[in-house]
Amino acid sequence: MNPFTTVLFLFFFINFSYAQQRGIYLTSKKGSGHTYLVENRRIKVKLHNNQKIAGNFKIIDTATIVIKGTEIKIDSILKIRKASTFSTVLSPISIASGGLLTMAGVSVLTSGGYLASVGIIPMVYGSVFIIVPLIGKQHKRDKWNYKIEN
Report yes or no on 13 lying in a domain: no
Report yes or no on 80 lying in a domain: yes
**Percent of the chain scored above 70 by pLDDT?**
92
The parent domain of residue 106 ranges over 21-149
Report yes or no on 27 lying in a domain: yes
Report yes or no on 26 lying in a domain: yes
pTM, 2 dp: 0.68
CB 94 within 8 A of CB 132: yes
Residues with Cβ < 8 Å from 1, sequence gap 6 or more? none
- Number of domains the chain is built from: 1
Which pLDDT value is given to residue 74?
93
Q: Is 105 exposed, middle or buried (0-12, 13-18, 19+ CB in 10 A)?
A: buried
Which pLDDT value is given to residue 147?
92
Report yes or no on 4 lying in a domain: no
Please report, as a single letter, which amino acid is at residue 123.
M
Of 80 and 16, the structure prediction assigns the larger pLDDT to 80
Report yes or no on 29 lying in a domain: yes
Establish how many alpha carbons lie within 13 A of residue 125's alpha carbon, considering only the half-sphere containing its beta carbon.
Answer: 9
Report yes or no on 55 lying in a domain: yes
CB 67 within 8 A of CB 61: no
Q: What is the pLDDT of residues 121-133, one digit of tens each?
A: 999 999 999 998 8
Report yes or no on 12 lying in a domain: no
DSSP state of 119: G
DSSP state of 30: S
